[in-house]
Amino acid sequence: MDTFKKLKDFYWPYKRFFFISLISLFFVVIITVVYPIVIQITVDRVIGEENYSLVPMLCLAFLGLMVLKSVATFFHQYMGDYFGISAVFNLRDALYKKLQRLSFHYYDNAKTGDLMSRLTADVELFRFFLSFGFSELIRIILLVLSSVSVMFYYSVPLALATMASMPFLIVIVMKFDKRVHPAFRGIRKSFGRLNTRVQENISGMNTVKSLSREDFEIGRFSDKGDNYRQHYLDTAKIWSKYFPLMEFMGNISVVVLLAFGGYLYMNGSISIGVIAAYFNLIWYLVGPLMNFGFVVNMFSQSKASGERLLEILESEDEIKDATSPIESKNVKGHIAFNDVTLTYVEDDDEALKNVSFDAPPGKTIGLIGATGSGKTSITQLITRFYEPEQGEVLLDGKPISDYSLKDMRKHIGFVLQEPFLFSTSIKDNIAYGNPEASMDEIIDAAKRAQAHDFIMEMPNGYDTLLGERGMGLSGGQKQRISIARAILINPKVLVLDDATSAVDMETEFKIQKALKEVMKGRTTFIIAHRISSLKHADEILVLEDGNIVERGKHEELLSNGGPYQRIYDIQYQDKEAILGKTKQHA
């Protein structure tokens, strides 16, 4: 029960609904056990003694019991569901909040489909046990105890004889639990992998179709589906093996009842009505014990699901908020790196090696280098997406870790290399970081990002609803909306991670012209592969293999004849060659 103890905070606040359900269940069980007593009285006193005057009274009593049982059953089931649904509402909410707080390191290794499976299927299985499993377990205990009490009241020898097989049944159930729990954990894991396969395939459908890899993807899905099927078959095999054994041990009790009960009746120790009552009581005893296997099955599934949920809830937040955060209202945007080293994976190559630089307020820093040279790593440390292995990142002369994460990031506008737009209106996408912004402010941000004109050409302008991930817009249009979103939060630090990579040269020129106004008074970091995007920077950092190998202004770097000069020659020699061929053709 350790899993349920660890998750207690989510369901215990709603214990009153659970106890109301249990009280109602108590009445349901007591009334259920009264049925065999009514049968015994009917057989012995009405039929056996021909006392037919009791029939109306028994009928009315039986009708009253059925009405009372129906009312009690309603409260038992409704309150039980209310208990489970309320508990998992908080649980799912806590899981989602945890996912929002976990660092990028966690998502580097997590699978989207598996996380979705945990927040949906695993949460639902846990809810089902809270709503039904707990109360079913208690129903079994109450029904067994009350049935055994009535059986001993009628006949101690017959009760002992019919219960002789019960210890063997309990042993079988315990062995079943040991086998079925690992099997159901395997099912949950394989289901998560199957979800991941579907999610990745749908997300990458353009790539799949462009390379004609549909058959390959069908094969991969079939493999994951077969693995899921095999786990279910293994579990079914365990169930098929143990359930007949449980049923067999239960039927032994019925055989004992027929043999020994008949013997006692012939000796005059019990009446025929008692035997008739016993036929019901024995199934009130055997049935729940056999059903105990189903409860164990349900418990094993919910336990496996609970363990997967705890893996998220107990995941360590690597990026912890400051205990006593310093004031961040008057941030100027002064960024400094002091001997910073970053490693994403332990024992792996360093992404940044002893990087140091100073970016005063209002200055523009350009970052250029080959893929994997460390450009994006610098900006991810500025926003504290990752922690440096050594060294420190300073904001206005203070360690960035001393600020509140939420408040500090409000001062940083971040435009990703691959813009992400939500399935909502264009207006809401631009205002995502500043939901209190007025319509005039939204339009102004869009104009600065050169997005206003194409937005007004959309069917409903700023109220146009976008498809998933901005479906319906070109890459350049999505990028400009992303830039407008960053502008709107009025950041002190602006990070443009290859922000103009998805636009053509003409649009890039327009954006750069607009951004010159936006950059005034802000510390700006520009990651770019095109020298034209960062030639105006106050300082350009050239990176190779996590090191800053060159730094300076555009003109200075060109005169050095170093790596920057080589990048410039590659980009502009190609352009000159193209222009030369065009002139010759003309």
| 561 located within any domain | yes
- Does residue 575 carry a pLDDT above 60? no
- pLDDT at res. 203: 66
Same domain, 341 and 247: no
Same domain? For 307 and 296 the reply is: yes
Find the domain containing 286 and state its range. 11-313
Percent of the chain with pLDDT over 90: 13
> What pLDDT, on a 0 to 100 scale, did the predictor assign at position 584?
46
Collapsing DSSP to helix, strand or coil, 400 comes out as helix
Q: Is there a domain that residue 106 lies in? A: yes
Q: Considering its fold, how many domains does the chain have in total?
A: 3
Query: Are both 385 and 434 inside the same structural domain?
Result: no
Question: Model confidence over 61-73: pLDDT tens digits?
Answer: 888 888 999 999 9
Q: What is the structure's pLDDT at 367? A: 92
Query: Does one domain contain both 200 and 55?
Result: yes
Q: Are residues 30 and 118 in the same domain?
A: yes
**Which of 392, 396, 417, 416 is CA-nearest to residue 408?**
396
Bridge partner list, 399:
394
For the segment 414-435, what is each residue's pLDDT rounded down to a tens digit?
887 777 888 888 899 899 888 8
Closest CA to 94 of 320, 301, 408, 315: 315
Residues 219 and 308 in one domain: yes
pLDDT of residue 581: 45
Are residues 100 and 132 located together in one domain of the fold? yes
- Output the pLDDT for position 338: 94
Domain identity same for 293 and 338: no
Q: Among the three residues 261, 282, 313, which one is the final residue of a domain in this structure? A: 313
Give the pLDDT confidence of 528-567 residue by residue, as tens digits: 877 877 888 899 999 999 899 999 999 888 888 888 888 8
Tokens of 119: 């927040």
**Residue 550 is inside which H or E element, if any?**
strand 547-552
Flag whether 513 is in a domain: no
- Residue of higher predicted confidence among 182 and 514: 182
493 compared with 528, residue with greater pLDDT = 493
Look at residue 214 and tell me if it is in a domain. yes
| Residue 26 placed within a domain | yes
* pTM greater than 0.75: no
Same domain (yes/no): 394, 435? no
Total number of residues shown for the chain: 586
The helix/strand/coil state of 403 is strand
Higher-pLDDT residue of 368 and 467 is 368
Which three-class secondary structure string do you get for 305-365?
HHHHHHHHHCCCCCCCCCCCCECCCCCCCCEEEEEEEECCCCCCCCCEEEEEEEECCCCEE
Closest CA to 40 of 287, 284, 271: 271
Residue 15 sits in the same domain as residue 142: yes
Q: Which is it for the CA torsion 144, 147, 150, 151, positive or negative?
A: negative
CATH number at residue 434: 3.40.50.300
Domain-located, residue 6? no
